[in-house]
Amino acid sequence: MDLLPECLNALKYSAFWKSTDQPSLKKFLDFRLLDNDLEERRLEYARYNNELNTLSQFYAEESEFGQQESKQSSEIKQYWEYQEQLSIMVRNKNEDKSKLQEEKAKMKVQELQTTQNITIASVAAGPMQQYAISATASIAKRTLDIDINIDNERTEKRTRTLMDDNNNDDNSFSNRFSPEPIRDNSDKSNYENDESESDESESDENESVFKLDELKKQLESLSENEWIVDTINVSKKFKEYQMQLIEKVKKNAIKKVKTKWDSEYEILALASIIVLIKPCPYSTFTPYEWKKVIDTNPYAVKESVWTNPFASSLSEACNNIAMGLDDNFVSNDESNLSKKASRIFNDLKEDLTPAQKKITENEHRFNYLDPLLRPFFCGDSKDYKIRLDKSVKGSLKRPDFSCRVDDIAILNSEVKPPGCTELQKNKDFVKVHLRSKKSINQLLNKGGPNQSIILLNMGDDINSYFMDLQYYGMYRSWPFLGTKLVTEKALFPLLVLTICHLDKIEQQVQKIANLYFIKPPGCTELQKNKDFVKVHLRSKKSINQLLNKGGPNQSIILLNMGDDINSYFMDLQYYGMYRSWPFLGTKLVTEKALFPLLVLTICHLDKIEQQVQKIANLYFSRSNHNILEQIEYIIEEPSSIDFQQL
């Protein structure tokens, strides 16, 4: 039932609808008159006539002619609960707008008061300055010059502070999800910003209320494919956890109670993101089951960093620096990684300044993070572009460092300097995961890989995650590596691990970029499925044509999807059943690194040609026709791609 927005006030009088049999316009106006809340007669009639007729019809149809006992049915109660939620939303939105205007007015008054105080202070300080200058002119001038220089330096250097971080987040923390869909304005959310949100973010938050119902429908539907580890149905258990969260939010909304979030993982679960960390953050898994699941991490590092030739010599040089000795890093290894390590070592050794408790994000990045990122991610030979931390024109957004292909981020990052609060860390953790999920969706829409990378630098901690979408409705976030940022000389021995960490990350970024650009332009997952079906239907048609001419009951399928070459044999041995048998699968050599696979690819195609010749011989040996007919090779052009998991 649709009601006009200006007529929703009629729903506030739930006592009238619950207690009045066969409600009518006259009864409603009499009820309003008794409450001394009746406006001008014509206005009331024009405003509520259609809506009252609609509501009366609803009760006539659903409540058995408006009988008192029927109005206590679950359907009617559910209807009124829903209307109360809508009323709360409208009321809160109006109150938020008024609060925002009030805050703006207060800020304006404070601004005027500050200007007035500065003016008064400057007038009062004028005679004192003249006296000081006349008494000790040279000392006062020198002191004044120093103060001005310091202020100018701070003004130029300070472009973003911790307070700026609170106001200039890339995405409002509550834009992507609603911590409390129907909230009471008297309470404050655990993750709510101190400042009032904009009207746009409010509308996004209100819209997210209804997305819970959409998510519930998706969870209740049958999955196309489920993630099963041994006998553990991970998809099913994660769905159970999501359903518990949805019920928790709805229950609190009906009770008008603020939802308390136990962790950031609950919020990500409502976005269908599962974070596979220790200890298990999800109550539907046992410790034994969770260990089984996280042991399947496909991105786990299985080799030691000390296998790199430069690692030992770099570790020795770093230990000397930590002990206060002046040492240089010299490596006999001429690899690119060794050269990058040498550059990083020299930059940090010369310019490293002790970390302060309070430091801006720009200073933190410039002093400690950029010397590590530049050698790995900057360069013209990369298949991806980087976007450095900078403000977005016309908005308060200030995205952090990212690696992009076709303006899609394949690496998303969040950076916070030392001294940031746990709340800020949790906000950034959620924000970067939501951004990574969006990147995967954008990549898949363009036929790219189903992966993205997350890099988090919180203080002196560097952590990375791999996110993928292998199973329906589940974005998996796998922990990759965790190292330390070198912010003082005592931490120099950790530089080897940090360099190897970033090297691994850059390799994976380059790999995702390569997978993206190998695909033909505009290829989507739908096109891949279409081509697979199309070539099988064509092969079935070929078998029918061969049998009609007395030929064999076989045909061959060759699929080249990107750098994957797969072949199938189709036959008709039993009535009404065309069997498609996988034959071989190899790789197409698209770069020098894949040359060792060339032998397998050549043998694969040789086997295919032998089978094609065999089918042709069978055809001509059985054929009664004198005209030679050519067997059609069913080869699917590389118009779609199906990449393997990293």
CA distance 610 to 615: 9
Question: Is 496 part of a structural domain of the chain?
Answer: yes
Q: How far apart are alpha carbons 574 and 304 in whole angstroms?
A: 54
State which of 518, 548, 568 marks the end of a domain: 518
Instruction: Return the pLDDT at 275.
Output: 96
245: closest CA among 276, 221, 281? 281
Predicted local confidence at residue 540, as pLDDT: 93
Amino acid at 383: D
Strands 451-458 and 408-416: parallel
Q: What is the pLDDT of residues 476-498, one digit of tens each?
A: 999 999 999 888 888 888 888 99
Domain that holds residue 536: 525-636
Catalogue the E-assigned strands of 341-485. 385-387, 402-405, 408-416, 451-458, 461-471, 474-484
Assess whether 592 and 488 both reside in one domain.
Answer: no
- Report how far Cα 507 is from the mean position of its chain's Cα atoms: 21
Q: Which segments of the chain have a pLDDT < 50? A: 1-2, 5-6, 8, 63-67, 69, 118, 120-210, 521, 624-646
Same domain, 535 and 508: no
Three-class DSSP category at 329:
coil
Q: Do 319 and 407 sit in the same domain of this protein?
A: yes
CATH number (domain holding residue 447): 3.90.1570
Q: Domain end: 518, 533, 550, which one?
A: 518
The distance from CA 541 to its chain's CA centroid, rounded to whole angstroms, is 44
Question: Residue 114 falls within a domain, yes or no?
Answer: no
CB distance 333 to 310 below 8 Å: yes
Contact indicator for 277, 290 with CB cutoff of 8 Å: no
**Residue 586 sits in the same domain as residue 482:** no
Put residue 230 in one of left, alpha, beta given phi > 0 → left and psi -120 to 50 → alpha. Answer: left
Encoded amino acid at 313, one letter: S
> Can you tell me which residue has the tokens 């008054």?
109
Best CA proximity match to 175, nearest among 450, 438, 472: 438
The pLDDT of residue 200: 41
Do 351 and 388 belong to one domain?
Answer: yes
| Rounded CA separation 176/201 (Å) | 9
Domain identity same for 388 and 444: yes
Q: Tell me, what DSSP letter sits at residue 556?
A: E
For residue 137, tell me if it sits in a domain.
Answer: no
Residue 378 sits in the same domain as residue 501: yes
Nearest to 374 by CA among 352, 347, 413, 354: 347
Q: What's the confidence (pLDDT) of residue 542?
A: 92
467 and 582 fall within a common domain: no
Determine the pLDDT at residue 365.
Answer: 84
Does 172 reside within a domain?
A: no
Provide the phi-psi class of 192: left if phi over 0, else alpha when psi is between -120 and 50, else beta: beta
How far is it, in rounded angstroms, from Cα 520 to Cα 192?
44
**Other Cβ atoms closer than 10 A to 430:** 22
Query: Would you say 580 and 568 are in contact if contact means Cβ atoms under 8 Å apart?
Result: yes
**Alpha-carbon span 421 to 357, nearest angstrom:** 12
Whether residues 404 and 474 share a domain: the answer is yes
Q: Are 497 and 505 in contact (CB under 8 A)?
A: no
- Smallest Cα–Cα separation from 328: which of 338, 318, 339, 337? 318
Q: What is the pLDDT of residue 46?
A: 66
- Which of 502, 498, 504, 409 is closest to 451 using CA atoms? 409
**Does 311 reside within a domain?**
yes
Joined tokens for residue 521: 């332009």
Residue keyed to tokens 């619950």: 18
Nearest to 246 by CA among 177, 186, 175, 193: 177
Rounded distance, CA 8 to CA 2, Å? Answer: 10
- Pair of tokens at residue 329: 């890093």
- What's the pLDDT at 36? 66
How distant is the alpha carbon of residue 127 from its chain centre?
A: 60
Q: Torsion angle, CA of 137/139/140/146, rounded to 10 degrees?
A: 140
Convert the pLDDT of each residue in 333-365 to its tens digit: 777 888 888 888 888 877 777 666 678 888 888
Q: CB burial class (10 A; 0-12, 13-18, 19+) of residue 613?
A: exposed
Select from 72, 88, 111 the last residue of a domain: 72
To 5 degrees, how large is the angle CA 404–CA 409–CA 413?
110
Q: Is position 614 within any domain?
A: yes
Instruction: Give the side-chain half-sphere CA count within 13 A for 227.
Output: 20
Establish how many alpha carbons lie within 13 A of residue 317's alpha carbon, considering only the half-sphere containing its beta carbon. Answer: 19
pLDDT of residue 205: 37
The reply to whether 537 falls in a domain is yes
Contacts of range 300-304, beta carbons closer than 8 Å, 24 or more positions apart: 301/480, 301/481, 301/504
Any idea what DSSP says for residue 428? Answer: H
pTM of the model: 0.52
From CA 196, how far away is CA 97, in angstroms rounded? 9
Q: Are residues 347 and 466 in the same domain?
A: yes
Query: In three state form, how does the secondary structure of 3-46 look?
Result: CCHHHHHHHHCHHHHHHCCCCCHHHHHHHHHHCCCCCCHHHHHH
Neighbours of 516 (CB within 10 A): 22
Structure tokens at 574: 């039993």
Q: Reply yes or no: is the peptide bond before residue 417 cis, omega within 30 of 0.
A: no
- What's residue 123's pLDDT? 44
Q: Which two tokens stand for residue 32?
A: 């309003």
Are the C-beta atoms of residues 494 and 504 closer than 8 Å to each other? no
586 and 463: one domain? Answer: no
Q: State both tokens at 178.
A: 């609603």
Asked if 562 and 531 touch (Cβ cutoff 8 Å), the reply is no
Note whether 483 and 577 are same-domain residues: no
- What DSSP designation does 527 have? H
Q: What are the backbone dihedrals phi and psi of residue 198, each rounded to the nearest 5 degrees, phi first?
A: -75, 165
Report how far Cα 246 is from the mean position of its chain's Cα atoms.
20
Count of structural domains within the chain: 3
Angle between helices 370-377 and 336-351 in degrees, nearest 10: 160
> What DSSP designation does 367 have?
I
Is residue 46 exposed (0-12), middle (13-18) or buried (19+ Cβ within 10 Å)?
exposed
